[in-house]
Amino acid sequence: MAIPQTTFQLKLPLDLPEEDSSDSALSAENIRIRAEAARRQLEGGALWPLNVQGETEVPVWYEKYLKLIYGGWPWRVAVLIAWLAMPKPRWPSTQDELARTILGLTSDRQISVWMAKNPAIAAQVQDVQFSLVWDELSEVLAAGVAVAKQHDYKGKGDREMIYKMAGILSDKIEAELLNKSGNVDMSKLSWQEKLQLAGLDNPEALIALKKRLQERESIEPAEDNGNGEKYESGADS
């Protein structure tokens, strides 16, 4: 399956209630002020984790967060999506900790409400996860090709992947095409299957091949027959 290019653009309006029962004593203005204060702390680096040297470190999900913000997602939801898309273990380690320390909420109860009311959030999490794969795809392919070149059984899985991506290998003939070491073995294939692999299983392709062979023969230089005489390639001896 092809990996789709990720869009971070918000396409649907979201239903994001700003207060739960624990916030009932707070006014809408106080809730807004608390949210903006949390955002300033996050984007200013005050809430970022520390590395082993005790230095501030940018969260691994922060770049995705910025792209989501640029795409029109509310900042709290953007943090949530970017955080959920990261593989575990992740920082913060729990959803409740994310809610309290990063989003300025009293608990993660509001997150559950947002997720339930807005399926677009879960869909965007999946899209961001696809983007993580896309970002690393070139290095993964390079590593796969390097392993596939090994002339032993260790490269079998990578060879199969490369063959399939190149359109050489189909599920129908996979079991017959690869030997135990994962190398191509066409001895068990029928003539029709070999033509299919070569892309010659239709009249148009065969006609084009015949034309190419004729053109090649017409431009090949005369060859020495070993007796000092010249003859045209393909001519009767």
What is the mean pLDDT of the segment spanning 189-210?
67
Contacts of 192 (CB under 8 A, 6+ apart): 201
In the predicted model, is pLDDT for residue 91 greater than 70? yes
Task: Give the residue, 223 or 98, on which the prediction is more confident.
Answer: 98
Element (H, E) at 231: strand 230-231
- Provide the 3-class DSSP secondary structure of residue 50: strand
- Say what the pLDDT of residue 128 is: 87
Contacts of 67 (CB under 8 A, 6+ apart): 8
Instruction: Please tell me the number of Cα atoms within 13 Å of 101 on its side-chain side.
Output: 13
Q: What percent of the chain stands above pLDDT 90?
A: 27
Contacts of 219 (CB under 8 A, 6+ apart): none
d(CA 67, CA 119): 20
Q: What percent of the chain stands above pLDDT 70?
A: 56
In the predicted model, is pLDDT for residue 3 greater than 60? no
- Say what the pLDDT of residue 229 is: 56
Peptide bond into 92 cis (omega under 30): yes
Q: How confident is the model at residue 1 (pLDDT cuts 50, 70, 90)?
A: very low
Question: Buried (b) or exposed (e) across 3-34, using 16+ Cβ within 10 A?
Answer: eeebebebeeeeeeeebeeebeeeeeeeeeeb
The average confidence (pLDDT) of the chain is: 74
Task: Give the residue, 83 or 219, on which the prediction is more confident.
Answer: 83
In terms of average pLDDT, the best of 96-105, 128-137, 180-189 is 96-105
- Say what the pLDDT of residue 21 is: 46
- Say what the pLDDT of residue 166 is: 54
What is the mean pLDDT of the segment spanning 201-217?
73
In the predicted model, is pLDDT for residue 12 greater than 60? yes
This prediction's pTM: 0.57
Per residue in 60-73, pLDDT (tens digit) is: 899 999 999 999 99
